[in-house]
Structure 1
Amino acid sequence: MLQTTAAQSLDEIYRTLRPEPLDTPAALAAFYQEAINQTRGGDKMRRIRLRLNRAAQDGIPFKACIMGHRGVGKSTELSRLIEQVKGEFQAVRFSAVTALDPSNFRPLDVVLLLMAEVAEQTAKPVAEGGAGKPPSDYRLQEIWDWFASEERVRTEAREMAASVEAGAGVQADSLWGQILGLFAALKGEIKYASTREKTVVEYRVSRLSSLIAVANKLLDECNRLLREATGKQWLLVGEDFDRAGIPSARIEELFITYANIFQDLRAHLIFNLPIGLYYSTDGAQLPFATDCSFVLPDTPVYTLEHQPNEGGRQALVEVLTARMDVNLFAPEQMQRAIVASGGNLRDLFALVNYAADSALLRDDPDPKIDAADITGAIVNLRSEYERRLGQSPFDQEDITYEQKAERLQAVYSGDKAAQVPDPVLYSLLNARAVQEFNGQRWFGVHPLVVDVLAGQGRVERLASGEVPGGAL
């Protein structure tokens, strides 16, 4: 569990410098730092909140996407947004990597999952965030009838109805009890989609338009019930669609081929997308308006001219100060970790955790994170970045290291033409070798990668041996 008081010793650091998002009010209050947004082009959540409230007042579904490299804090920002709008909206969050089969899910699975989640949440007591009653039997019958020709699914639903919500007083033979059994069966199938018969998937996909119609009627009723009970509306949030391990084919099918799903569903939706998809040639086909597509950039530790970015560095000092006693660092070592992280919070926490463990393993009676500990952490993380620059038989594009190195040199030198998206730049962005900064959209090379280039003689060192824009 995340410890929400600052670490006072090295052996507590792993409890506060965790990569998990701040997803509770207590964690946000303890650790969230407004200064981060000031360095990366403003607070995007304030803009989303404004447009979300406008859409709700006008009775128009709000649909937006959020993008950013792993580790910039997308889930934390969504938690913060949800906390800010909790007076007007009740959020339903789900993760692509836990609720779906990441490698095999289909667009239809997302629709079914949203239907199940909203219906189940609506039936919960008001004190637990629901409306206190399930959808009407008429709406439930429409869902049941959609599966009329799938006797296997209906049989599984009846079998599961006896155990689903039994302790809550739901009768297994009631229509609501059978629908809960159906949802349980479908969630299991969705989670392990690789075992599903291809003919079942193809049959359901052929009837997707009718499912959307059923889903919209259900969403309308669940929204009405929630408004009547609490004055709120449902907000559906899909996360982790940019995680490693989800094939690009699944993402493209959901957000490009079947983009009409998002256009047609009558619900407030926020999904996160891989930033590479947004910058791809297919990006123009995404179902989210340009002014409802929000990129969360990295926090800069250097300026475009490779000079220290004091604002970005100070923001990261505040992040660390909230989570640990910074006197646990020997002089200047906190700044070294900040610079080496490239402003990415996930990398910063990884560096400090590795260095803290190194300090503890010395068996010093009064250990501090010293220069050797930070150097070891930098070397360790830099090796990971070096591996990402190579080629793999699993890469989607056949891009050589020479192509990558030439583009990195061009980005490092500030060549504007090098910032025009293409497969090489996408590859470097996905590997986090290239970073994107603030609202002006300028790119930089991660300090650890600058070190790699310098070691290969591709970037010049100063007379002092220092590498402008590097980590060491």
Structure 2
Amino acid sequence: MPEENSLLNVYKNFKAEPLKTPEEFSKFYVERPIKSTLMKELKTKIENAERGKFLFIGHRGSGKSTELNKLSSELEENFLVIRYSIKENLDMNDITIKDFLLSLGLKIYELGEQNNIEFSTELKDDFMRFVRETTHIKEKEIKELKGAGLSFTKIFMAKIGIESQTKDYVREELKTKITDLVRKINNLIAVIENLSNKKILIVVDDTDKLTRYEQAEDLFYKNYSLLLQIDCNVIYTFPIPLVFDPYFESVQNKFDGICVLPQPAVKSKNLEIFDDDGINFFKNIFYKRVNERKDTIDENTLEYAIISTGKLSEFVNVIRDALIKSTVKGKTKIEKEEIEECASDLRGIYEKALTQKHISTLLEIHETKHASDKSPEEKIVRDMLFSLIIVEYENKEGKRWHEINPILFPLIDKWKNILQEKQGMKYTL
């Protein structure tokens, strides 16, 4: 196959990862079709807030990190911005508020060093001593790791992120010292802001990627008061399943603003009408990543890929895998066959996790377009939102509804038959 026609030339552009660099934004960014002023409004709020705390809500894989990276870049001229990724700094399978706050404190200290802030000897020694005592890391080990080229902050952040014993020490020590830690964090913030003459903005990302729902509950519902005590502007990404928790109503009012990044719909609520705005959004993403090469896929196949997937990251992953399948088959373009194969592979992963209770609930949601647990104790809907089996959509009129992930639509008739066999009766709603 001639190199210039190879589908692999654009394969690297289909990574389901956030855009980060100015070059990536210039080449690949597409403005969202609904609530296009949402990020401008959030930017204005931050620019005029003293110590604002904001929740940024959306499905995992919906483009939140890309939008936050873009916002951070736009604010860097007037703010000192910390982009804090839970995924990059902590263990996604095992995290508590104590790990998070100590790690965040180290990131703030690092921000000061990066901006040549001259902390007083007293403040510096006090913070370093506190971190050493909390982690139980000996001076000898610190010197050895520094000799290997690691900075003070990198040493401790690595230990907190990956070492079970260090995490155990931290959690035990901070049982009685968490307030002291918050005070030290705020002292660092005050000094940095005063000496730099800039406000600090912290963007806490990837909380929606925590592997267990209970971890998100621990951060935002059991310990939200500690999150609010960080004395600077902070944006916290907020897992969308928590919105359906009874605690949300009381907690949301404690924050200064809530921004919901909608998942663009590609069909109407009744699934009978295509939403041109949503479909064109996905098309533009595709064409920007193939350098406007229209011969990569025909229009009907592209539209099929769009309506077969539930959200942005799934669409990108299906196209990425289809590029490989098409190349291996010796094709010069993606055809419907490859899209169907990739969608089927993804569908199989979701299906393995579904019980009869899940199936019954999903069929009800498909019929009513509404998702909620039957009681505060039940978490089946929240769990399926967390795992992206259920998706919340919004159109340009601001109407929201719930639907099962479109990748699962081909299973609906099969599910109805399963319930019919189990119940010994025809499935109806």
Shared fold (TM-score, shorter chain, > 0.5):
yes
Q: Separation in 2 of the partners of 1:377 and 1:10?
A: 16
Q: Separation in 2 of the partners of 1:53 and 1:403?
A: 47
Q: Separation in 2 of the partners of 1:150 and 1:15?
A: 43
1:11 corresponds to which residue? 8
Q: Choose from 399, 404, 407 the match for 1:445.
A: 404
1:190 and 2:148 correspond: no
**Per the alignment, do residues 407 and 248 of structure 1 end up closer, same or farther by CA in structure 2, a change over 3 Å counting?**
closer
1:358 and 2:325 correspond: yes
3-state SS of 1:238 partner: strand
State whether residues 213 and 383 of structure 2, in contact with CA within 8 Å, keep that contact through their aligned partners in structure 1.
Answer: no
The alpha carbon displacement at 1:289 in A equals: 4.1
Partner deviation per Cα, 1:400-421 (whole Å, 9 max, x = no partner)? x333333323322235576888
3-state SS of 1:223 partner: helix
Paired AA for residue 171 in structure 2: V
**Per the alignment, do residues 97 and 11 of structure 1 end up closer, same or farther by CA in structure 2, a change over 3 Å counting?**
same
2:77 corresponds to which residue? 87
1:25 and 2:22 correspond: yes
Q: Separation in 2 of the partners of 1:151 and 1:418?
A: 42
3-state SS of 1:443 partner: strand
Q: Separation in 2 of the partners of 1:291 and 1:303?
A: 33
Correspondences of 1:99-118 after superposition (within 5 Å): 99-118=89-108
State whether residues 365 and 404 of structure 2, in contact with CA within 8 Å, keep that contact through their aligned partners in structure 1.
Answer: yes
Structure 1 residue runs without a partner (length 5+): 1-6, 125-129, 167-179, 391-400, 460-472
The alpha carbon displacement at 1:380 in A equals: 2.0
State whether residues 9 and 328 of structure 1, in contact with CA within 8 Å, keep that contact through their aligned partners in structure 2.
Answer: no
The alpha carbon displacement at 1:322 in A equals: 0.8
Q: Separation in 1 of the partners of 2:345 and 2:300?
A: 19
3-state SS of 1:153 partner: coil
Q: Separation in 2 of the partners of 1:418 and 1:190?
A: 37
1:265 corresponds to which residue? 230
Q: Separation in 2 of the partners of 1:417 and 1:197?
A: 37
Q: Choose from 288, 297, 305 the match for 1:322.
A: 288
3-state SS of 1:304 partner: coil
How many aligned residue pairs are there? Answer: 407
Partner deviation per Cα, 1:23-65 (whole Å, 9 max, x = no partner)? 111111111111x2x23x444212211110110xxxx212112
Paired AA for residue 297 in structure 2: F
**Per the alignment, do residues 259 and 32 of structure 1 end up closer, same or farther by CA in structure 2, a change over 3 Å counting?**
same
Structure 2 residue runs without a partner (length 5+): 419-429
Q: Choose from 331, 335, 354 the match for 2:303.
A: 335
State whether residues 135 and 166 of structure 2, in contact with CA within 8 Å, keep that contact through their aligned partners in structure 1.
Answer: no
1:52 and 2:61 correspond: no
Paired AA for residue 315 in structure 1: F
3-state SS of 2:234 partner: strand
Q: Separation in 2 of the partners of 1:147 and 1:212?
A: 12
Percent of counterpart pairs with the same letter?
20
1:466 corresponds to which residue? none
Correspondences of 1:64-83 after superposition (within 5 Å): 64-83=54-73
2:180 corresponds to which residue? 210
2:356 corresponds to which residue? 402
Paired AA for residue 298 in structure 1: Q
2:388 corresponds to which residue? 432
Paired AA for residue 42 in structure 2: I
1:292 and 2:257 correspond: yes
**Per the alignment, do residues 424 and 114 of structure 1 end up closer, same or farther by CA in structure 2, a change over 3 Å counting?**
closer
Q: Separation in 2 of the partners of 1:208 and 1:221?
A: 20
Paired AA for residue 404 in structure 2: V
1:135 corresponds to which residue? 119
3-state SS of 1:80 partner: helix
Paired AA for residue 160 in structure 2: I
1:386 corresponds to which residue? 351
2:423 corresponds to which residue? none
The alpha carbon displacement at 1:458 in A equals: 6.8
State whether residues 164 and 184 of structure 1, in contact with CA within 8 Å, keep that contact through their aligned partners in structure 2.
Answer: no
State whether residues 15 and 316 of structure 2, in contact with CA within 8 Å, keep that contact through their aligned partners in structure 1.
Answer: yes
Q: Separation in 2 of the partners of 1:283 and 1:336?
A: 37
Partner deviation per Cα, 1:154-197 (whole Å, 9 max, x = no partner)? 5257525853879xxxxxxxxxxxxx63x344223211241237
Q: Separation in 2 of the partners of 1:255 and 1:108?
A: 13
The alpha carbon displacement at 1:12 in A equals: 1.8
**Per the alignment, do residues 266 and 164 of structure 1 end up closer, same or farther by CA in structure 2, a change over 3 Å counting?**
farther
Paired AA for residue 204 in structure 1: L
Q: Separation in 2 of the partners of 1:197 and 1:435?
A: 35
Q: Separation in 2 of the partners of 1:78 and 1:200?
A: 30
1:398 corresponds to which residue? none
CA RMSD of aligned residues (A): 2.8
Q: Give the structure-1-normalised TM-score.
A: 0.78
Partner deviation per Cα, 1:196-233 (whole Å, 9 max, x = no partner)? 37465223221111221122111100111221xxxx32
Paired AA for residue 138 in structure 1: E
State whether residues 393 and 402 of structure 2, in contact with CA within 8 Å, keep that contact through their aligned partners in structure 1.
Answer: yes
Q: Separation in 1 of the partners of 2:251 and 2:5?
A: 47
The alpha carbon displacement at 1:244 in A equals: 4.7
User: Greater relative contact order (Cα 8 A, min sep 6): structure 1 or 2?
Assistant: 2
The alpha carbon displacement at 1:265 in A equals: 1.5
